[in-house]
Structure 1
Amino acid sequence: MTVARLTEHAPAVSVPLPDAAGRAIAASRILDTAAPDPYRTGHWTLRAGSKVGAVSLAVPGGDSVVLRITPKVPIARLFFLIGYSLDPRGWRDGDVEVGDHDELLPALAHAVERQVDRALRQGLLQGYRTFEDSALVVRGRIREAEQIRRRFGAVLPVEIAYDEFTTDITENRILRAAVERLLRLPGVPQDVRRRLLHQRVRLAEVSPLLRGQALPVWHATRLNARYHQALHLARAVLGGSSPEHTTGELRIDGFLFNMNKLFEDFVTVALREEYRGTDRTCRLQDPHHLDEAGEIRMKPDFVLYGPEGAPQAVADAKYKTEKSGGYPDGDLYQMLAYCTALGLPEGHLVYAKGNAPHAAHRVRHAGIVIHQHALDLDRGSVGLLGEIRSLARQMASGVTVRSRSEQLPGG
């Protein structure tokens, strides 16, 4: 088995790969770069982008290939971003135990198994579930429309619907699906795999979810409180990018997080939380049009509306800066379009990396000021949320803040 260990946005490495595997990786767009190495026969040049996790490729007639892509941010910080994005009010520091693992998938599998074990210590949760059936006796409610459609006036059997108090409920089905998903993935440590197998036995009487169907919705209540953390992590497992497909005779199976999407979710959810309980409203991925004819569509990540319902501030989250010398100019043009269409004097770009904590640019002949902020993901969760709080305060006030290295005209 060939194992290629990569780090997100790190320099490219040369890895020995069968041509079929290399071509499949290139076609899947898992990596930013996947091309034959021009200097070494039988090697491919691989460079990871913003997707992190593990992918296994089963090569017919050859060894399997495993890609393991490690995030640059610490694993504990990554789980904070995931947990807070999914449940900002229910999240607490230290809720998720990742063990001693420094790679994403082993840490995720460990965390899910621990949370599932904690959820099931008092036994499987029970609840009412509605079943539909054809029966010779009436139980529950008769489905009259279905009886007429299927039975054409016959008395028996009867189409019925009834509620049953059972462990075969949505919460348990989601946990079982997450456990089984992890058991199919490459790179799960043997000790964690054994514990996951034990959890699957505990959930054996629960109906499995069908592949390809939408994940059923569960609602947080007092009755299922002990399941909350496990269900949030299970959602992360089942909702992650899953490159399960076949390219010719080559099967690809894996689990990936898109750091761009994860950072965007964290920033927008955290900003929304800062305005909760105020007279302002927030919209994520808010649809607008740049032109008067309504043909050029755009969706800012975050738009803040004032008490009167008019746009007050706009923000866009950008995980990676592409220019070594500073922020990319293309982001400035995009934010200028947002501000122009929304009629706003200021816009905010939020990065996960940057050479300076803050920069601001006043656009010539327009008077629009575009702010560029850099969040420090190496900081602790309290410090990181403090940065979000400062940003939210600035967006609400509309006050232009100067950085030491800039001078805005008219200041």
Structure 2
Amino acid sequence: MAARGVLDSTASNPLGRPRGIWSVLHLDPILLFLLLVLISGGLFVLYSGADRNLDVVKAQGLRFGIAFVVMLVFAQLDPSVFRRWAPWLYGLGLVALIAVIFVGIGAKGAQRWLALPGLPRFQPSELMKLVVPMMAAWYLSRHFLPPRLSRIGVGLAIVLLPMVLIVKQPDLGTSLLVGMAGLFVVFFAGMSWKLISAFVVMVSVAAPVMWFFGMRDYQKQRVLTLLDPQSDPLGAGWNIIQSKTAIGSGGFDGKGWLQGTQSHLEFLPESHTDFIVAVLAEEFGFIGILILLSVYFLIILRCLYIAVTAQDSFSRLVAGALTMTFFIYVFVNVGMVSGLLPVVGVPLPLISYGGTSTVTLMAAFGILMSIQTHRRMITA
């Protein structure tokens, strides 16, 4: 009986090493700690950005609680589960995006949400940020890498189809994020620099066509406002002007928590959502921004380590794409708020007030933790 128990134990753990609590929970302690630091600081800044509205902080705390549960659930699943379900989830996502066009719920001139019986309202486009890279990785990892030109073409088609459907909503910002997530998979699979150069040339040639025939008036206005915010200081340029004023007024060490004038005197719009980094910069200055970006850098560094050490092509491609998508979130939001990029409505990850994007991001971290912890189970 005792010998049999030893054999059963070593069968589940070949080297006979006891499994730690992190292995049992399938969580990466380093990544989890960094996420908790970021989220805690985010709630701290959100209280000020929401003009000391404790209800907003409580609501965001509840969303984080739900997001953590989602992350934990995703972390329990073996990466092979994501690989096996990727085509089905992709097909379901396309059906949902098509349904949004016909029966979706509209708000502020956009039709982006679905309300299904028994479920809360949600944005299918947010889910595609996870599904598209998984589908592209599923297809490309089934063949020898680097892929041939024909398979790169199929991979690009997998990425472009949901992008077109999301643009129809219209939601150019989310469409670009979904596209970037999928394109990172194609790039990491071994896309040659010649093809990358050709793609850049094609985009450059298509840009004028998109300007005249593909972009809506409000999207063109965002680009023009970026180039010259003072052309309409009380209208389209107001957000960027006030954001840059808030960032500049913070100086080196800021005005102090709850002491920001741009946000609390209501000069800065969307101070608890898209422009929350301007609140942080005004109240905590250059030091606060440096600390925030350092935490983001450490999270990205840890995620890249998980991607590099993943044990199969599918896991490496998905982990790399999700990591770079997180980076794009940070890059676009900070660039937007500082006046270096057009205003596209991309929230600051795990800092801005929001629900669906928070859950999506934490689900992505759950996938990364799954890749890391299941790798350990095999090699330990």
TM beyond 0.5: no
- TM-score category, normalised to shorter length: under 0.3
Which one has the bigger strand percentage?
A: 1
- What TM-score do you get using the length of structure 1 for normalisation? 0.23
